[in-house]
Amino acid sequence: MTAHFSTVRPPLPDTLVSELQAHFGERFSRTQALREQHGRDESAYPIMPPDGVVFAESTDDIVATLRSCTNHGVPVIPFGAGSSMEGHVLAHQGGISIDLSRMNQVLAIHAEDMTATVQAGVTRRQLNTALRQTGLVFPIDPGADASLGGMAATRASGTNAVRYGSMRENVLGLTVVTAAGRVVRTGTRARKSSAGYDLTRLFVGSEGTLCVIAEVTVRLYPEPEAAAAAVCCFEQVSDAVNAVIQTIQMGIPVARCEFLSANMIGAINAHSKTTLREAPTLFFEFQGSSEGVKEQSQQVQAIAHELGGQDFEWATRPEDRSRLWNARHNALFAAQQSRPGCRVISTDTCVPISRLAASLEGAAHILTQAPFPSMLVGHVGDGNFHALLLVDPDSPHEMAIAEQLNERIVRLAVAMDGTCTGEHGIGLHKMPYLAEEAGEDAIDLMRIVKRGLDPLNLLNPGKMFSLEPTPAPTA
């Protein structure tokens, strides 16, 4: 994995330890097990534990942690569910991990305005459970039961993004704590505003480098009257992708549209005990009125048939739809299970929908050179897909080749006016590609913002970009 890590860590100052112990008591821990738990995520990086873990239960706890750590020059790394893919939560420069999972209160549900305000540790499933009696849902679904604070911090999206967008479109306001320990509230529950700089959008996607998110206000949506999921197989990857392109270009409002390669289907069958045909496959979901769902599905079926797609296999009962989408959400674990002991290096490119076929087929061609298993899966309805590279973490040779293939796939997408990450974020892994994609002038602007809000570089330091000019990836 391409990153530079500090090997020398000064010990935590005794006065800082005393302050944290006095404020948090048993909610401050330096035990090895807890430190290691907070020094790993779903990336292929080795464990990089913090020097201590604080369990925050309120905004005041975040303030106390940041003021103490800033006074002593110690880094702070926000931690939610630990489900990030790019090394976001790894303490490669040491410091304090601030675990927000106990900040799990749904603070307000304004059903009449279709908004909810939650603490940062509330997960998407927890919020939807709280919404059951309201007829509303929070649809952003990255697969993992991620925390809303973490989802905002990484600008997450997922399978429903083709219809509902990402966290960027669905966060109305935030309560954040800056490095200096100042509590800042951004945005309102109004659906639009022209008042001042858009600080909400600045902090959404900042990956813990500008603030610690304490509360999130999100949009809610009416639960659809009807929903149906369908599976359609194709002989060729190109036919499946062209079906997606035509569906989107015709403006058919599908709720979800997922692509899975043949061997990804095989891994899912083994993991989730499904019996899907092992072929390039699209998963669709249609939502709306009963007539709307019927019309959407007929239009998409006609497109699929013209491109050689087989008849749709339907899942209309809620339990059948849940089983299908749970199988899709478990694709990462299915891939890992197919090669025991492996770690997954995942690409996360996103391109304009017109370039989707060229990008996905190009990635598939690049992966033919991999000496280890690889699979393709993704939210192709919005041009985003993932290549899952199943590497032996103890093999430097495999790790090096995986990084080379990852770089080629990313550069292919960027050359198509796409991005190196559609939803996972930059973290440690994609820092060189952000520099290449955005350009040095844009990175310099980001550095100015970072220095203005975090002059000591203590908030999740060493992530997203270097405070010094970042070298471009080697050719």
Average pLDDT over residues 13-31: 97
43, 391 in Cβ contact below 8 A? Answer: no
pLDDT tens-digit series, residues 28-53? 999 999 999 999 998 889 999 999 99
CA neighbours closer than 13 Å in the CB half-sphere of residue 388: 27
Average pLDDT over residues 225-240: 94
Q: DSSP 3-state assignment of 226?
A: strand
237, 364 in Cβ contact below 8 A? Answer: yes
Instruction: Write out the H or E segment, with its range, that includes residue 78.
Output: strand 76-79
pLDDT tens-digit series, residues 131-190? 999 999 999 998 889 999 999 999 999 889 999 999 999 999 999 999 999 999 999 999
Q: Cα–Cα distance between 407 and 433 in angstroms, integer?
A: 8
pLDDT tens-digit series, residues 247-259? 999 999 999 999 9
Mean pLDDT over all residues of the chain?
94
Residue 62 has pLDDT above 90, yes or no: yes
232, 304 in Cβ contact below 8 A? Answer: yes
Residue 468's pLDDT band, with cuts at 50, 70 and 90, is: confident
* pLDDT of 471: 53
Give DSSP secondary structure letters for 50-72: -SEEEE--SHHHHHHHHHHHHHH
List phi, psi (to 5°) of 385.
Answer: -145, 165
- List b or e across 365-384, with b for residues whose CB sees 16 or more CB atoms inside 10 angstroms: ebbeebebbbbbbbbbbbbb
471-94-120-219 Cα dihedral, nearest 10 degrees:
0
Query: 């944290």: which residue's tokens?
Result: 20
Contacts with 100 (C-beta within 8 Å, 6 or more apart), sequence order: 56, 62, 78, 79, 80, 119, 120, 121, 147, 149, 212, 213, 214
Instruction: Tell me how far CA of residue 155 lies from CA of 141, 145, 201, 282, 291, in angstroms.
Output: 12, 15, 9, 25, 33
Q: Cα–Cα distance between 158 and 166 in angstroms, integer?
A: 8
Tokens of 4: 């530079």
Tokens of 239: 């036919």
Average pLDDT over residues 358-378: 96
pLDDT tens-digit series, residues 430-457? 999 998 999 999 999 999 999 999 999 9
The structure's pTM equals 0.92
CA neighbours closer than 13 Å in the CB half-sphere of residue 137: 11
Contacts with 472 (C-beta within 8 Å, 6 or more apart), sequence order: 432, 435, 436
**Structural domains present in the chain:** 15-99 (3.30.43.10), 106-222 (3.30.465.10), 226-332 (3.30.70.2190)
Residue 2 has pLDDT above 70, yes or no: no
The beta-strand segments (E) located in 264-383 are: 281-288, 313-315, 343-346, 349-350, 374-378
212-219, strands of its sheet edge to edge: 106-110, 115-119, 212-219, 171-177, 183-187
The one-letter amino acid at 126: Q
* pLDDT of 474: 58
**Helix runs in 339-459, H state only:** 356-367, 396-415, 431-438, 440-453
The beta-strand segments (E) located in 261-306 are: 281-288
Residue 472's pLDDT band, with cuts at 50, 70 and 90, is: low
List phi, psi (to 5°) of 170.
Answer: -115, 0
